[in-house]
Amino acid sequence: MHGSAVVDWLLAGLMGGTGLYCLARLARPGAPPDERRLDASEAVKGLGMAAMALPYGLARGVPVWLWAALFGSAAVWSFIEGLRPGHRGHHLYHAVGHLAMVYMAVVMASAMPGMAGMPEAGAAGYPLLTGALLLFFGGYALVGGVRLVGVQGTSAGGPAAGPGGRASVTRRLLGAPELPNACRTVLGIGMFAMLLTM
């Protein structure tokens, strides 16, 4: 499932940084509960992707059942959250992303020699499913990128940030409205890149 070690380290660093940023957003004072739940889901996904992208097969030391339990429960939680009003599409997107992580973990484990009981997916997984996921995450990343460009264009003439030192900069970095969209776009690009290496 891995490409070159340099690409794997870059992908692991980008996904890990994104996951840590989403984790830091959980500490924002006054954040709505809906946004906190999205941040938690994105943190789990980003940090899990970082661990899975580590080069030299380091992620293969984690049992497949642990990956499946972590991301399977995250998928169920995201799906249930997606049934409630508010941020419905984002939660359903995360449910698909968590299920894709379970799929990649199973494929990664089935490619290891001596893994009895694993489905016969082969080293590349199931081509139709992999292709559908590539289209989904590639399309999401493109749409997310277009949205980000649109947000940047409309907010370019907005008011400047007020004074207040480091605390206000931190608040702005953690609370900027366009950054959750950027996180989801980065995670979509990461999923696309990981699926491409299968």
Domain count across the chain: 1
Q: Can you tell me the distance from the alpha carbon of 120 to that of 80, in angstroms, rounded to the nearest whole number?
A: 30
- Which burial class, exposed, middle or buried, applies to 34 when counting CB atoms under 10 A from its CB (0-12, 13-18, 19+)? middle
pLDDT: is 2 or 24 the higher one? 24
In the predicted model, what is the mean pLDDT of residues 48-77?
A: 87
Under DSSP, the state recorded for 55 is T
pLDDT at 121: 46
In the predicted model, what is the mean pLDDT of residues 80-106?
A: 88
Q: Which helix (H) or strand (E) holds 139?
A: helix 127-155
The predicted model scores a pTM of: 0.80
b/e map of 121-146 (b: 16 or more CB within 10 Å)?
Answer: beeebbeeebeebeebbbebbeebbe
Confidence of residue 57 (pLDDT cuts 50, 70, 90): low
pLDDT at 170: 64
Secondary structure (3-state) at 64: helix
Q: Which amino acid is at 106?
A: V
Residue range of the domain that includes 89: 5-154+161-196
C-alpha angle with apex 15: 120 to 42, nearest 5 degrees? 90
Secondary structure (3-state) at 46: helix
Q: Which amino acid is at 98?
A: H
- Ranking 62-71, 127-136, 159-168 by mean pLDDT, the lowest is 159-168
C-alpha angle with apex 30: 28 to 35, nearest 5 degrees? 70
CA dist 149 to 28, 128, 152, 158, Å?
Answer: 25, 32, 5, 15
Q: Identify which of 67, 75, 80, 81 has the alpha carbon closest to the alpha carbon of residue 94.
A: 75
pLDDT at 38: 87
Secondary structure (3-state) at 158: coil
Confidence of residue 160 (pLDDT cuts 50, 70, 90): very low
